[in-house]
Amino acid sequence: MFRIFPERHFWRLLLIIGLIAADLSAQHIHEEHAISSHPVLNSIEEAALLGVITGENAILQKIYAGYTPERLDSRFLKDNDTPIRCMVPVLTEYYHTKTILDPAIVAEIEEIIQPRTTLSTKAHISDSGRFVLYYDVDGNNAVPMDDLNGSGVPDYVEHAAFAADSSYRYQVEQLGFVDFLKEEPYEVFFRNFRFYGTTTASGSTTSITV
């Protein structure tokens, strides 16, 4: 199950709306670097500036911090469980330097950040048919399995599908943003990581992971 506080379930669902809105207003990651306010990312940045670690190792450590904290260098561990609010600056840095990074590091980062399905992954299509939500029912990435309406789909996933449909109607049909949907339903993945969510390139479009 997700190792998150109950109130964060709601914020993860609302994040879908924010991520879709960002995708609508800018089809690619913004080319700007935001200053991190998270102590772990700050300590990694400081180590790189002081020459304690290389720049490409710093990028890898920041990816670890958000996605796989069990791999993080112990020097950067902090005594708190505060989630990283946004990984966009880290991913922006990675994509900007990807072509000059060690191929082994690129391969490892891609394996970490790209959403993927497993044998325990199920799919749920939103009521509008515009979104397909992939969720795990077992393992570290399993979603909360409460199913109060007995539909066979976890309430968490149904609420997320409703939020995605509502966001699309508001952003595209009411506000007139560019329709980001291609021929296939837009993909949404659920994953147990240490930040709120992100968009990831997926062919000619993107997918959302929360």
- 66, pLDDT greater than 50: yes
Q: pLDDT tens digit string along 7-20?
A: 455 555 555 555 55
- Provide the pLDDT for residue 151: 96
- 33, pLDDT greater than 70: no
Distance between CA 144 and CA 191 in Å, rounded?
A: 12
Mean pLDDT of the chain: 82
In a 13 Å sphere around the CA of 187, the CA atoms on its Cβ side amount to 20
> Which region holds residue 82: left if phi is over 0, alpha if psi is between -120 and 50, else beta?
beta
| Number of residues that make up the chain | 210
Per-residue confidence band for 76, with pLDDT thresholds at 50, 70 and 90: very high
Q: pLDDT tens digit string along 116-126?
A: 888 899 999 99
Q: pLDDT tens digit string along 96-135?
A: 999 999 999 999 999 999 888 888 999 999 999 999 999 9
> Which two structure tokens, joined as six digits, stand for 184?
């296939």
pTM across the whole model: 0.73
Q: Which residue's entry shows tokens 């060690």?
A: 102
First to last CA, the chain: 14
The rounded radius of gyration (Å) of the Cα atoms in the chain is 18
Distance between CA 200 and CA 181 in Å, rounded?
A: 15
